[in-house]
């Protein structure tokens, strides 16, 4: 967590426009190549002409600018209210190439639009799915995505003019680009490390120039201001078989992008405030929904879906400037650059081996990020089985080694993508695991004083079944009652849509502890925030917040997760007297 003293401007504060514009421009320069190079890689791998490629790049920049504006906004359930920059998602390279080869850019656009809408279902069910769509599942899909994009990269590394076929110049340029990026990433610190990909591309391109691999004629001929050479490719509404075969892969990658955005939205909240506080999961849902709307905009414009770039979180942490004004300026610059064919020509001039080396490093980082996600909550036997089986099933189907030819035609199309096959396998196993571990001690009662006795009876039964002694049982009962009293005291009828009277209680054993889970309509206060306020007051006024003081003393851990429409209050109690 960032030291709060380093935060110069919180999200709601307004730094001078010159400072905000400078910060926004700096972040744009860092992510610009990644935004533009992804549609160019798809263009080259799918065999599209240069004019169509220019439109994909133009649309990607416009969509990135609009999506960044959506992120810094809070429009109902859309937007995080934090500085989160958005750009093209390299994870879609393989499936976008397959879509273009099967039905052209219109099919890719349709798939991007339809899959983007699934983010709203994801965020609506986010609390319920948090035990199934776990970081481990997201990490598995990320690793499979890296494998599926790898063949595209191998092709790019060798995509050179005929005169350079088999020349040792090509591997030299590839190695130089990778080494530059890796050395800067390993030995640089602070802001310089964030510039490593751009510096590596620049170094590789400069090395390519005297060797004859760099052609700048297009850059010299391109105007500084203008429209792209290509035109909008349109959207396919006939939904051919290829659409249904590729849709699961698009949806899975979209959901994994949502899991990554979840992590970024949590991180940016931790780094954007001077005083630490609980995570606002409504802002997290807003960030994922903004991703969905942004990807829908990208698809409607005919380009690749986008996602939040984690580097923007790193810049906030390094500079201490978290003001939303930075995002507004950054989005403006992205849209402005879309109308500069000169900028597009510069990126298009990057030699294939250099671009391939850049994407290769990104894939390595994606694969590594997948490994970290898999290990985020610990990798026990059961989760490890789901992850590893999902990974190898996906790899086997993608390589055509798991009896693909014996499956019906629709199943071959559906499962030939390793991301789809492996991701669904991991999700299915995690669902089975979640069902097996679900709480058998549960209760639904009105959120009112007479229900306290029912909750007390439920909790006492759990404690006695676990063999807890009387002091431990009393502690668990007291924690359960005080948590329920807090929710009753802070009912918010204006935000609960008439559901404030219903409370769902689930009790389950977690190791040697008992976890109480209360699910209800939105409360008007956050228990974690209220506890932090009591800690700041100290013991000067013990009578104030007595219920929360008791809860804090009885519970080992209290978490209050507030989502749109639903609150989750989690209380963990151990058996120590």
Q: What is the pLDDT of residues 292-330, one digit of tens each?
A: 999 999 999 999 999 998 877 878 877 888 999 999 999
What band does 437 get if pLDDT is binned at 50, 70 and 90?
A: low
Residues 80-111 pLDDT 10s: 999 999 999 988 998 999 999 999 999 999 99
Residues 204-255 pLDDT 10s: 999 998 888 888 888 888 899 999 988 999 999 889 989 998 999 899 889 8
Q: How many CB atoms lie within 10 A of CB 186?
A: 9
Residues 492-521 pLDDT 10s: 766 545 555 789 999 988 878 999 999 998
Closest to 338 measured CA to CA, from 60, 51, 3, 48: 60
What's the mean pLDDT when you consider all of the chain?
87
Distance, in Å, from the CA atom of 541 to the CA atom of 543, rounded to the nearest integer, reads: 6
Domain definitions of the chain by residue range: 4-435, 439-573
- The model's pTM: 0.82
Name, in order, each residue with C-beta under 8 angstroms of 518's C-beta and a sequence gap of 6 or more.
483, 484, 487, 503, 504, 505, 567, 568, 569, 570, 571
> With contact defined as beta carbons under 8 Å apart, do 273 and 7 qualify?
yes
Name, in order, each residue with C-beta under 8 angstroms of 370's C-beta and a sequence gap of 6 or more.
138, 139, 140, 141, 142, 143, 146
439-573: in CATH 3.30.565.10: yes
Residue 481: strand, helix, or coil: helix
Q: Positive or negative CA dihedral for 352, 357, 361, 367?
A: positive
What per-residue confidence (pLDDT) applies to 1? 45
């Amino acid at each position: 967590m960032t030291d709060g003293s380093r935060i110069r401007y919180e999200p709601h504060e307004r730094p001078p426009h010159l400072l905000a514009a400078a910060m926004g421009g700096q972040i744009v320069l860092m992510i610009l190549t990644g935004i533009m190079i992804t549609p160019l890689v798809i263009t080259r791998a799918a065999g599209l002409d240069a004019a169509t490629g220019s439109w994909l790049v133009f649309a990607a920049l416009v969509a990135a600018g609009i999506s960044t504006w959506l992120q810094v906004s809070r429009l109902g359930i859309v937007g995080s209210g934090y500085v989160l920059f958005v750009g093209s998602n390299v994870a879609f390279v393989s499936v976008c190439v397959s879509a273009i080869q099967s039905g052209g850019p219109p099919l890719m656009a349709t798939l991007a639009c339809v899959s983007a809408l699934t983010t709203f279902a994801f965020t609506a069910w986010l609390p319920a799915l948090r035990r199934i769509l776990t970081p481990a599942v997201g990490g598995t899909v990320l690793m499979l995505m890296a494998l599926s994009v790898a063949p595209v990269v191998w092709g790019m590394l060798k995509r050179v003019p005929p005169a350079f076929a088999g020349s040792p110049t090509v591997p030299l340029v590839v190695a130089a680009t990778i080494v530059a990026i890796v050395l800067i990433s390993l030995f640089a610190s602070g802001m310089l490390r964030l510039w490593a990909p751009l510096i590596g591309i620049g170094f590789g391109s400069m090395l390519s120039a005297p060797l004859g691999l760099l052609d700048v004629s297009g850059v010299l001929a391109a105007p500084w201001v203008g429209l792209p050479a290509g035109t909008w490719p349109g959207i396919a509404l006939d939904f051919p078989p290829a659409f249904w075969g590729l849709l699961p892969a698009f949806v899975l990658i979209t959901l994994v992008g949502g899991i990554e955005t979840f992590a970024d939205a949590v991180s940016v909240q931790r780094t954007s405030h001077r005083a630490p506080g609980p995570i606002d999961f409504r802002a997290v849902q807003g960030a994922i929904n903004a991703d969905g709307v942004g990807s829908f905009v990208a698809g409607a414009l005919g380009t690749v879906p986008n996602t939040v770039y984690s580097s923007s979180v790193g810049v906030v942490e390094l500079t201490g400037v978290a003001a939303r004004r930075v995002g507004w300026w950054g989005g403006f610059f992205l849209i402005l650059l879309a109308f500069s064919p000169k900028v597009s020509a510069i990126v298009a001039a990057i030699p294939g081996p250099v671009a391939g080396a850049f994407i290769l490093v990104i894939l390595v980082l994606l694969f590594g990020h997948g490994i970290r996600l898999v290990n985020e909550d610990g990798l026990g036997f059961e989760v490890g089985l789901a992850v590893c089986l999902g990974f190898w099933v996906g790899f086997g189907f993608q390589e055509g080694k798991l009896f693909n030819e014996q499956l019906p035609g629709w199943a071959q199309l559906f499962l030939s993508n390793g991301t789809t096959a492996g991701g669904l396998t991991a999700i299915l196993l995690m669902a089975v695991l979640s069902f097996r571990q679900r709480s058998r001690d549960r209760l639904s009662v009105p959120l009112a004083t007479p229900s306290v006795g029912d909750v007390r009876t439920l909790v006492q039964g759990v404690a006695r079944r676990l063999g807890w002694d009387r002091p431990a049982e009393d502690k668990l009962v007291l924690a359960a009652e005080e948590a329920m009293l807090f929710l009753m005291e802070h009912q918010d009828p204006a935000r609960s849509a008439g559901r404030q009277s219903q409370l769902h209680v689930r009790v389950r054993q977690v190791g040697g502890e008992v976890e109480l889970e209360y699910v209800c309509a939105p409360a008007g206060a956050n228990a974690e925030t209220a506890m932090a306020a009591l800690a700041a007051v100290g013991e000067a006024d013990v009578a104030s917040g007595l219920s929360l003081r008791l809860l804090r003393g009885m519970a080992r851990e209290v978490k209050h997760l507030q989502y749109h429409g639903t609150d989750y209050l989690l209380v963990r109690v151990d058996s120590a007297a």
